[in-house]
A and B are shown apart, each in its own frame.
Chain A
Amino acid sequence: DAGITQSPRHKVTETGTPVTLRCHQTENHRYMYWYRQDPGHGLRLIHYSYGVKDTDKGEVSDGYSVSRSKTEDFLLTLESATSSQTSVYFCAISVAENQPQHFGDGTRLSIL
């Protein structure tokens, strides 16, 4: 299994609170991604990173920010959580663009 650890694995929080999810990899891959997975929508890209301090937006980036200060860590922050951000969040890594992505086991986030 690819060395990807997501934390926390589960979180319940209230609307309006800030939330940070962490993805840690031990593979030294350059590319890292954050997705959300919702029934009927599949995996949708939130943000991605192509190097330390190099990030860009995906298709559903509104309300989310990311940071990558080290190769191994990619943080996803919900500045002010809303109920529409209740979802399962997956981190993925790849060695290069167009190479297959490998996924962590996800964070289940519930916003009440």
Chain B
Amino acid sequence: QKEVEQDPGPLSVPEGAIVSLNCTYSNSAFQYFMWYRQYSRKGPELLMYTYSSGNKEDGRFTAQVDKSSKYISLFIRDSQPSDSATYLCAMSASGGFKTIFGAGTRLFVKA
């Protein structure tokens, strides 16, 4: 079993839809949670960074962490064609250099 599981998709939605992207994990020591966006032939770009449980909002993006369920989510409101990309979740534990990445979910937003 992988430490981090992420549905690879693809997920296809119409423009303006609310998108929900999710990851589950098995290591209860993870405390730092990140979401990255990766366009084709580019490097991952940090979208959200949260510590421990709770919600964080930045513009159209909201990240949620539920440590009791070992489940994290990224919501995208009013999705745009420019949001079409692969979204990677990532997480790490305190005192470690190692960040574990999900395999990524491909998202297509249709105009």
Contact = CB atoms under 8 A, between A and B. Distances in A.
Interface of A: 4, 31, 40-45, 48, 50, 56, 58, 90, 97-98, 100-106
Interface in B8-62: 8, 31-32, 34, 36, 41-46, 49
Given A42-B101, A42-B103, A102 B46 contact: yes
Most buried by B among A41, A42, A44, A50: A42
A97 B101 CA distance: 15
Given A48-B97, A101-B99, 13 more contacts: A42-B101, A42-B103, A43-B44, A43-B88, A45-B99, A90-B44, A97-B95, A97-B97, A98-B96, A103-B43, A103-B45, A105-B42, A105-B43
Interface of B: 4, 6, 8, 31-32, 34, 36, 41-46, 49, 88, 90, 92, 94-99, 101-104
B88 A42 contact: yes
A101 B101 CA distance: 11
Contact of A40 (B44, B97, B98, B103): B103
A103 B104 contact: no
